[in-house]
Structures are given as C-alpha cells and as structure tokens.
Structure 1
C-alpha cells in the first residue's frame, strides 16, 4: 500500500518542508518506502497560489526528490479568503489550479500498486489552505471514495492572524467534518507553548525572559509530532520487516470509531539518556487540557501511544503502568471496551544519533470542542453583524453555506460535550 501526501498553501508546504527534512536527513535511502516511489521521488504534491514558499521548499529539500509535474503553483494569492480559494476563480493559469492538482493526483494514484489514502497538510486560516484545501478534500472523496483521508491542519492564533480567520476556520472545519476520516488538529497557540517549552530546555538563558519562538520552530514541532505518529513502527511491519505504510490508516481506525467525532489532540515528549517511561508519561499528561471553560471535565473516546526508544524495547517493561496512567489522565469513556492502543519501535526517528526515546500520544479528546466552539462563537458574532460577508458573496459563498457550517460544527461540539455524561 502507499499514500499520497498533499501539501496545500503556505502553512501546508512549510510543515511539509520540515516533515521531509526529517525523512531525508534521518532515514537511509533503502528504508524510505512507503514515502518515496521506486524512482526515488517523494509521494507528494505541493500546491500553492503563490511561488515563494514552493521555491524555498525545492531549494531546501534535495534536488530531484519532487517531480516537476507535482509542483502546482499559481500567480496570485487567495487573499486569506476561503470563498476565493474554494471557487478557484483566479486569472490566467490560476483558473485551473484545482484541475491541475487533481490531474497530478490522478497520475500519482496510477503509480501506486494499491492506493490507500491521502494525508493533506494545510491550515484553517489562509485562503489557499482553507478554501482550496476544502475543495480538494471534497474532490478526492468524490473521486476516490475507497481511500482514506487524513487532514493535518493548523488552527490560527485565537486573535491576530487575519480579520477573516474565524469565517475561514468555520467553513474549512465543516468540510473536514464532512469529507475527512480523521483530523490532526494543531492550535497555533498550543504549538507555540510546546515549542517555547522545548526551546527553554535546549538553551540556557539568565534573563528569565521567555524565548522567542519562530514560525520554523512551530512547524518543526508539528512535523515532529507527525514523525512520532506516522513513521513506520515495528508493531505494524510484516514478519520480513517490510513497512506497508499502514500507520495513518491504523491511527484513524483506532481513534475515530465514530464519524461524528474525528478531531484529534496530539502531545509529545522526547528525552535523551536512560528511558524512565513513567516520568515521560507524566510529562506528556501535564499538557492535556483537564476541563472546558465551564468547568466540565474532558474525556477521550480513545487514545494511541507511540513509543520510540533507540536500540531497545524498554517500553514493554513499563507498558501496563504507562497505559493505565494514560487511561486515567485522558479520562477514557467507560463504554469503549478497548480505549488504549500502543505502538513501539526500537528506533527513535526524532533523534537517531544517540540513545534517546520519545512518546507521542494522540487522543480523540473532547478538548477539541473548546477550539471548535470558540471559532463558531466568534464567526457567529461577525456573521450576525454582517461583517465582511460581501467578500465571500463576491465569490459565490451564500448564506446557506454559513448556516450549514454552523449547524455541522454545533453538532460536533454537542457530541464532544456529551462524552462522560451518564
């Protein structure tokens, strides 16, 4: 089986840049399947309505890894407008941006021995990542219904990105809910905290000031979480140690058993030296949101833990205590008979040069409702006042599109808030 990686917009391509750097810098060429084709090309399609990020991506990843036909670039941005990105009504070559992407996608599918699904990297905020990303999810689902679809998406800062971010996030999330099988949802505010925490541990500062977190560091954190979750593990390899690339789809199977709840929270801790897995687990669960703003405790439908430890299987010695701590800390619902899953691998792709270990935990967690509810509330306030709606109507987005999005996400919030209730 093989997957296709689809990078859309500035954010999606920047995350993809960090992801492919991990693979090209840390993995031997003989072990790069299923992320690379037999000819050595990356199984990825890079799409953006502007050239600057794509240009940097091709410069920083080794020359020749990307097929020229898989680099889809327009000449004009989408103005941070979901409707502009979705309708794809640019000028010149921009008019065919969606069609060009789907044509490259079709060729990539035909190169696969067995197409299993697509991982799409994008954001909720920008016009290309949110709008074109939504349309691509719809097209892929309609044309390749048997394949899985996993979204890796970055939610904007609560305030300060663009005045249209709440509309864009609202409309994009509603499409992800309808067309994707699972959504790895990363909040920029949360990612910034995690990246700052990592920077504090790696650098010594006597000033007492919080280190400045760059956009590159934030993208690197998301890529690190992806590598922790989706890089091949011993648990899912064949007896002959061949990876079939099942990790993204086994993640969906384990964590998204109900189509109404598919937004996933990810936490990760990496350590060097001797592995004390109980301590590592304690560090992970400290980052888990405990309750919503109203004081209602959060719960999880299911949890997946991926342990990577250089050169040994020490995690198995602490497995029972670690999984019990995760089950209690994530407050797994009582009606799921098997809420905890774990994978192990004797290689830490995140730090392969020395004795190290990492624990990446992904959970279908009700804290997603807090983020979604905040987006819906801010978008509804703007919508009721009529703010900026003419920018969306200009590109064919009607009131009915907003109402469907509000209804879709209200149902998601209600489903998550009902977890743990008797």
Structure 2
C-alpha cells in the first residue's frame, strides 16, 4: 500500500476520525482494497495536535490496536489561531520536539508500507496548528521524501466571523502549500455548509438525488467532506488488477486533474442516489452549484476534470453522454486534449448512507480565483493598516513574508486567468 494520512490540528483530526470510522466499517474484502493501511494491519495514520484533548478520541483507535501508539503526537498548549506560532513554534526545546516527533513518526510509518507513495494531509487553513504546523510539516516532508507525493485536504474558513487572523493564516498557508504540495483539495466552509444541508428530489419522482446531508451541523459538514474524500480516494475497479488495488488513487487523482504544476487548487462536488437513477441526473446535481461567471462577468474554465462513478453495476456510466456534458459545463480548456477523465466501480464503498450510486467530480476550476482574490484583498488591506502584525512578528514573521504570500497568490490568479 502507499498512502499515509497526516491529521493536523482540531479540524484535521475531526475529519480523520470520521474518515477512519468510515473505513473501519467496511468488510474484510473491502479493507484489503484499502490503500491506507500498513503491512501489520494498522491504519496508516499520524495524528498531531498541540492540545491533548483534541486527540482523546484518536486514542480509542490505539486501544483497539488500529493505530500505532507512537503515531499520536501531542503538545501541551495551543497555537492561539496564529500561523506564525504554528509554523515556527515557541522558543523552547519542547516546541521544536513536536515537529521532530511528528517527522519521526512519519518516517516509521513510511517504512511500514509495502511501498511509500506519499501523504494525504488533513488540516484547516485558519487555525494556528492546522495552518501553521500543517504548512511546516508539508515543507519538511517534501525535503525528507522528495520523490513522494503530497495531497492536502484543506478546509477554508467561513468568509467572515471565525478569527480576525484568518485571512493572514489562509494567505500564508496557501502560499506555503503552493511551494510544497502536489495537489490541494479545497473545501470552503461556506460551501460545505450549504451542501451538507441540501437535498433535492429527482425529476423522476424518486427520493433519489442528494448533494449532501439533511442537517447543517459541524458533524454533517465533516461527513460531507469525508464522503467526497472517499469518493475520490478509495480504490476503484478501473485502477485495480485482479481485485488488488495498486493503492495509486490519491496520486492518480493528481495526475488526472493537475496537468501543470502551477495550477493545483481543486474543486470537489458530489451527488448520491438512494435508488437506481440515471447518471445524467447525478451529473446535473454536481453542476447545480458550479460557479460559471466571475464578478466581472468572465466565464470560468477547467484545466481538467475527474468523474468517479461508484455503484455502476450495469456499466451504464460510459454508455451515457455524461462526459461530454461535464466537459461543456466546466468549459474545459482547448489546450488539454483529454480534459475529462473517469473512474468507475460496481461497488459504492464511498457512501456513508444507503445510497446506491455516488458521483464525485473533482475539477481544476478557475473559480478558485474568487477565493484567492478575496483572501489577497483582505490581507492587503490589513497589511496596509499594520493590523495584528505584532502577533506574527513576535514569532519571526516579517512584513516581507506577507508580501511574498500576496505575490504568490497573485501569480496563481494570473495562471488561472491565462487559460
């Protein structure tokens, strides 16, 4: 197997908990196909946080011998929602020890794999631990394992109201991840909240199509993100040889949707059917909330799209005209000769409910410039007013680093707008 899951901060560990609960509910036959376990049967998870209380539930997996005890890395204090504190740590030896212990746990876990392909990092872009320490760990991992892949599941904070430092944290996190990660799956809290509470009847009258969950709660939001992760990352029949998964799904995902290394921010949506439904209906649901026009009324486009159809027992997904519909709706760029990829599997292991079919669509979509533009604008305004800078300067982050982050995000916007 190949993938190690790194959970950083409160958000990352909450997502990780739901992720492992989903995987451990599977049958023995399904678990054999899972690329997220080591040779000894343990889950390939490294859980790190600067507050012990966040990791209490992770210890339950240690008691059941599903996670190695040395893979639980605890600190003794939070990071105050400050990227600089999470990234650089404090002045004491214990602060540096947290980073070193995590890297040592990752090295041991990589050695337990049949082969090491890379990490999937779960974290938030807002908090001090998830954003700061998460960014630092990705940089350290890139240096220690230069041939390994890095895919992040990065949760974007609500547009306003979470923390006065969130725009700085998001700016610095995205800039750092752009240097070290190969792919960044973005889940915006505002979007996830609406999708987690969205339900829609199908046009056929069945209680068939749902783009999420019925309760707009934190647990439902986490369940939605976990379901999207499962839709993209769990093994599929089209990447399996003799019922044995090559464990390449996270890395094949990036090969499919990141054709150029300068554009790696990914948009994901999902639709499920509780009864046998036409794939065309599910495609329509995934397109329902796809942004089409920028604020200055310019059409968005996609560099690449991946559609993962699970529960395709009758092989009807390819027989339908869904790929052409996806290509047109996402306005795929002309220079990519094969912009839409697809995977299928007769089983639906990704479902967290009783859904028969699940369609997960991942797109390298230029609408990400709206988020990046907002973060850049707010950070620039705060920087001009020198707001909250002293909280970062005390941990070694100077004004120049903020400006470098702004320049990095501005170059990303230029890349996406250049088609």
- TM-score by length of structure 2 reads 0.93
Structure 1 spans left out of the alignment, 5+ residues: 205-209
Alignment of 1:30-45 (within 5 A): 30-31=31-32, 33-45=34-46
- The answer as to 2:98 corresponding to 1:97 is yes
Task: Please tell me whether the aligned partners of residues 275 and 314 of structure 1 are also in contact (alpha carbons under 8 angstroms).
Answer: no
Q: Secondary structure at the match of 1:302?
A: strand
Task: Please tell me whether the aligned partners of residues 76 and 90 of structure 1 are also in contact (alpha carbons under 8 angstroms).
Answer: no
Alignment of 1:18-417 (within 5 A): 18-28=18-28, 30-31=31-32, 33-59=34-60, 63-89=64-90, 93-198=94-199, 213-238=216-241, 240-309=242-311, 311-318=313-320, 321-351=321-351, 356-417=356-417
Task: Please tell me whether the aligned partners of residues 20 and 61 of structure 1 are also in contact (alpha carbons under 8 angstroms).
Answer: no
Task: Please tell me whether the aligned partners of residues 58 and 72 of structure 2 are also in contact (alpha carbons under 8 angstroms).
Answer: no
CA distance 1:122–1:103, shift in 2 (3 Å)? same
Per mean C-alpha deviation after superposition, the further-off stretch among 45-54 and 160-169 is 45-54
Q: Secondary structure at the match of 1:122?
A: strand
Q: Secondary structure at the match of 2:56?
A: helix
Q: C-alpha distance in 2, partners of 1:41/1:245?
A: 16
| Cα deviations by residue, 1:57-98 (Å, 9 ceiling, x for unpaired) | 333787221111000010100000000000121657344110
Q: Secondary structure at the match of 1:358?
A: strand
CA distance 1:198–1:219, shift in 2 (3 Å)? farther
CA distance 1:270–1:45, shift in 2 (3 Å)? same
Task: Please tell me whether the aligned partners of residues 76 and 94 of structure 1 are also in contact (alpha carbons under 8 angstroms).
Answer: no
Q: C-alpha distance in 1, partners of 2:399/2:413?
A: 21
**Shift of residue 355, structure 1, vs aligned partner:** 6.6
| Cα deviations by residue, 1:112-147 (Å, 9 ceiling, x for unpaired) | 232111110101000000000010011011111000
Q: Secondary structure at the match of 2:304?
A: strand
Q: C-alpha distance in 2, partners of 1:94/1:198?
A: 45
**Shift of residue 196, structure 1, vs aligned partner:** 1.1
Matched length: 409
Task: Please tell me whether the aligned partners of residues 192 and 213 of structure 1 are also in contact (alpha carbons under 8 angstroms).
Answer: yes
What is the alpha-carbon root mean square deviation over aligned residues?
2.1
Per mean C-alpha deviation after superposition, the further-off stretch among 184-193 and 269-278 is 269-278
Q: Secondary structure at the match of 2:20?
A: helix
